[in-house]
Structure formats: C-alpha cells, structure tokens
Amino acid sequence: MGQLMHVYRDMYEEYEKRHNNLFPKMREALKDAGAHNYSIFLDKETGNLFAYLEVDNVEKYNAIAQSDDCKKWWAYMEPIMDTNEDKSPVTLDLHEVFHLD
C-alpha cells in the first residue's frame, strides 16, 4: 500500500519522535493486522509524507481504524498533522502502477 499524508512544517521532529515511540498497543495492533515492511518518508520541503506498507489482508488492516488503540493514536497525532473530523489522518491512497521484486 502507498499513501500520502501531511505533517505541519514546524512538527517534523515531533512527528518522527512520536513514531520512534509508537504506542506498544498500536505496534501490536499493526502486526496483528498483518502489516509489515512499513516505512514513512518525509519531504521536508512540503511536509508531505509518503507511507509504504505491506499487508496480508487489506480488510483486516483497515479494521484497525475501529479499535480504541488506533483512535487513541489518532488523537495523539491530530495536533501535528492534517486530520479528518474523526481525527484520522487525511490520507490519499495511491494506486500501484509498477512493482519490481
């Protein structure tokens, strides 16, 4: 999966710090949902974030959004990035057009 998000310009360091200290329950929820090989990249010129992750089952991964742990993480991240009314990050899912193993 590939996704685009946005972090506020003065929050780059805080965004990285928070992800380096990902809530243990959130880490566990991601792994339980089959997420792996997960990376987030920052364009420091724009604040745009590119997330890449592999999931075993997209529906199972998407179900994380209903969990209390995920909602707690979203509330924690909401002050430093673009979010929706439910505090989820504004995310643009990307369509894969090329893959090389």
Q: What is the token pair recorded at 56?
A: 């075993």
Q: Are the C-beta atoms of 74 and 35 separated by less than 8 Å?
A: no
* Rg, C-alpha atoms of the chain: 13
Q: Kindly report, residue by residue over 9-68, the tens digit of the pLDDT.
A: 999 999 999 999 999 999 999 999 999 999 999 999 999 999 999 999 999 999 999 999
Q: Which of 19, 36, 95, 99 is catalytic?
A: 19
Please, what is the end-to-end C-alpha distance for the chain in angstroms? Answer: 15
Q: Which amino acid is at 16?
A: E
pTM: 0.92
Q: In 3D, which of 16, 64, 18 has the Cα closest to residue 44?
A: 16
What the chain holds in terms of domains, given with CATH numbers, is: 2-94 (3.30.70.100)
For CA atoms 61, 66, 69, 72, give the dihedral sign: positive
Name the packing angle between helices 68-77 and 12-20 (round to 10°): 150
Instruction: Tell me if residue 19 is catalytic.
Output: yes
